[in-house]
Structure 1
């Protein structure tokens, strides 16, 4: 049963508990295990990969079978329906169109005093995408990670994903990868896959940025290799927060909560409403929809431990609670969602109105579904083309412009006790005053 509270203090305490649900006492032990795995990959390369894949996945690999063959990639198309292929292609099209709108542009500004300033954006050389296996196959994760990398212009994109017990990879994942422009795919998963991408092995190239969600071992591995490579984020269990008023349909709200809870036993599903009867009806509807659910056991665990309904006096209070939680997904199921949006400061993705379930964003609306979790939306943004790009600052000063700032720079360099910094300016200024140049000396 979905818990309901009318007490604001209790609601805040519960939201804090749910946000901190990833603070596992076993994390220290798991991190030590991950360190050992990463160390082994760094020292032993492919051989360590083969051993861990055998130990953890029960699959025997060698240098020839580590990478998916062209024949396997071709065969994947014969194993998916036309409907699925069409849906994958529509998702790729929409995601590409959205991310092309946000492609950073280099710029240069020429000022009147002879100063030129700008930014020059360039893509990283190599990106590594992690696509999880386990409870389900995730072609949508492939699309959301691969398409922005391709739009950014990354010349080499490689993908890793855990193999099934037979060593095969889900055909939907392989088709999605190819439709998104990826053909370099390796059948490895877990912390060992992150280590291979970060450090490189005899077969797998070291990359510059690693993106994609995974289990706690994958997340810890990304945390530990950060600095050697860039990462998108440290993704935690998924979460949704629904703000609803009296106009919301309780069956729809319940379905939205369950759509998040069915991901993982640690997924969070939260309702904040101004309408007490709605909370009661949603709780009843959650139980009704859970009956006979294909993922009933894990979904019930998520609802029992991290499900919550809060009844508040106003939408402004609801927005304040939401901002404090900073949800990964925020649904505004109210009569005037754009008015309420003005009160929202922190959320990974915001879904406005009664006809916009989170699922449209998860699959094919266009914005990325790789979002900040566990309160990270307070300071972080969704995965985008910028994840796969970086910029260099452009600076050019004319002799006259340098002359104009020389005195200020001298004061600052003297204050910081860095004489050669000041000297590098003064020599140029004095040389210009004397009419000398390096060629004249």
Structure 2
């Protein structure tokens, strides 16, 4: 297969097709999820059990929708001690990062003498964290979605995830849940899982928000149920840019280019460089790396890097490379340059920025600490990573003393009268003073 190579050295214009993503047309899924949502609303747990058989291939005729305590215990017995320690390591780092990120519960500032205003940060009552299972098992997604929920103080954080054919949850996912501090894990994925937390069933609690990546079925269900359930920012197919100048090692850049390209055939992954040497080294190295990968993951990577949404982009100069990044606004950005810190200050749009040749995307995805659920499809131009703030809401606070009131009232009355709001004006008129005087 021929790796895609885009030569932009003769112009500073960036072709629109290189900025496009593999965004799926959801019309097919939107039509299909409607009856699924209706079934869950009408039949609750019975619908979830039936869909588990139909869609997830669950073999047992009966199984508990909620993971039982004994299943958590068995997961710890089944999992290698080394993997349990690694999950603990990841949880510790992700927790430390989000604890540092958590805002103070309340702040107030004196705006004028005797007039105070501020914010309270309050956790959302119930949030569902979606952990996918279609292309494997992803305890890292549980860690990234559940840790900030617990740090934020969400009173009822729950996990929903598709069951395996045995009617059980992946062992590592259950281990991660217990280590994070989540006790409620429900075996329902896809559109039916989204519907379950939107409406609530006999087993699954109704939630106010859902976070985490999912299939087009999940995305379509979130959109249909957005009037009942805050869907958060949709996380689409994985995407990355490895940005390098002439100081980079092309083989190393190629190694990191493969990381996001193996997620699936709908991913996007580019090496963007101003160095012809780096580009050629990467072109030579990539096929060698494919031979070291399992067939399915190599196939995903080949589809991406030999298609329209991946490969190597050679730019006129490093300025041009940086401008491409800012226009693309990648989910993941990794910088290999002489001065990665200096380069970082010129990046305006990216979900995350990983600096230097010792910070591959793998570390950010699993153990570094910052959240790996990131905005995709150019959303990084206006949105950021999943954070503690996504599990909290702000409540504005105001407090005015007797001494501070007259000045504010006079100005508020003037604006109210100009805008034609008579009762607004009346509430800060002499009528108030008379009543308070009484």
The TM-score normalised by the length of structure 1 is 0.93
Deviation at 1:99, TM superposition (A): 0.6
Deviation at 1:298, TM superposition (A): 2.1
Which has the higher mean CA deviation after the structures are superposed, 298-307 or 52-61? 52-61
> Are 2:106 and 1:103 aligned?
no
Cα distance in 1 between the residues matched to 2:209 and 2:353? 26
Q: What's 2:323 paired with?
A: 320
Q: What's 2:80 paired with?
A: 81
Q: What's 1:299 paired with?
A: 301
Q: 1:25-174 counterparts in 2 under 5 A?
A: 27-59=26-58, 65-105=64-104, 106-111=106-111, 113-174=113-174
Q: What's 2:194 paired with?
A: 194
Deviation at 1:168, TM superposition (A): 2.1
Asked whether the equivalents of residues 254 and 271 of structure 2 are also in contact (C-alpha less than 8 Å), the reply is no
Q: What's 2:285 paired with?
A: 285
Distance 1:136 1:431, change over 3 A: closer
Which of 17, 22, 34 matches 1:14? Answer: 17
Cα distance in 2 between the residues matched to 1:165 and 1:29? 26
Cα distance in 1 between the residues matched to 2:94 and 2:269? 26
Cα distance in 2 between the residues matched to 1:341 and 1:169? 40
Q: What's 2:254 paired with?
A: 254
Cα distance in 1 between the residues matched to 2:59 and 2:195? 19
**SS state of the match for residue 118, structure 1?**
strand
Report the aligned-residue RMSD: 1.8
Asked whether the equivalents of residues 223 and 234 of structure 1 are also in contact (C-alpha less than 8 Å), the reply is no
Q: What's 1:273 paired with?
A: 273
Which has the higher mean CA deviation after the structures are superposed, 88-97 or 295-304? 295-304
Deviation at 1:64, TM superposition (A): 5.9
**SS state of the match for residue 240, structure 2?**
strand
Which has the higher mean CA deviation after the structures are superposed, 293-302 or 57-66? 57-66
**SS state of the match for residue 372, structure 1?**
coil
**SS state of the match for residue 169, structure 2?**
coil
Q: 1:224-263 counterparts in 2 under 5 A?
A: 224-263=224-263
Asked whether the equivalents of residues 120 and 395 of structure 2 are also in contact (C-alpha less than 8 Å), the reply is yes
Cα distance in 2 between the residues matched to 1:164 and 1:53? 9
> Are 2:338 and 1:339 aligned?
no
Q: What's 1:219 paired with?
A: 219
Structure 1: segments with no counterpart, 5+ residues:
none
Q: What's 1:383 paired with?
A: 386
Give a deviation string over 1:103-148, Cα, whole Å, max 9, x none: 0111122355210111111111111111000211111111111111
Q: 1:360-399 counterparts in 2 under 5 A?
A: 360-399=363-402
Deviation at 1:169, TM superposition (A): 1.7
Cα distance in 2 between the residues matched to 1:152 and 1:333? 34
Which has the higher mean CA deviation after the structures are superposed, 390-399 or 106-115? 106-115
Deviation at 1:29, TM superposition (A): 2.0
Deviation at 1:61, TM superposition (A): 7.3
Give a deviation string over 1:214-262, Cα, whole Å, max 9, x none: 1111112222222422233111100110111222222221111111111
Cα distance in 2 between the residues matched to 1:326 and 1:127? 28
Q: What's 1:417 paired with?
A: 420
Give a deviation string over 1:184-235, Cα, whole Å, max 9, x none: 1111110110111111112111112211111111112222222422233111
Give a deviation string over 1:392-433, Cα, whole Å, max 9, x none: 10011223433213333233223333211221222xx4442x
Question: Aligned residue pairs: how many?
Answer: 431
**SS state of the match for residue 157, structure 2?**
strand
Distance 1:2 1:64, change over 3 A: closer
Which has the higher mean CA deviation after the structures are superposed, 268-277 or 218-227? 218-227
Cα distance in 1 between the residues matched to 2:395 and 2:299? 50
**SS state of the match for residue 252, structure 2?**
helix
Cα distance in 1 between the residues matched to 2:419 and 2:109? 30
Which has the higher mean CA deviation after the structures are superposed, 369-378 or 399-408? 399-408
**SS state of the match for residue 6, structure 1?**
strand
Asked whether the equivalents of residues 315 and 340 of structure 1 are also in contact (C-alpha less than 8 Å), the reply is no
Large movers: runs of 4+ above 3 Å? 8-11, 60-64
Structure 2: segments with no counterpart, 5+ residues:
none
Cα distance in 1 between the residues matched to 2:59 and 2:218? 21
Which has the higher mean CA deviation after the structures are superposed, 270-279 or 310-319? 310-319
Q: What's 2:354 paired with?
A: 351
Cα distance in 2 between the residues matched to 1:405 and 1:132? 52
Asked whether the equivalents of residues 60 and 166 of structure 2 are also in contact (C-alpha less than 8 Å), the reply is no
Asked whether the equivalents of residues 59 and 167 of structure 1 are also in contact (C-alpha less than 8 Å), the reply is yes
Give a deviation string over 1:301-345, Cα, whole Å, max 9, x none: 122222121111322211111010000000101111111112100
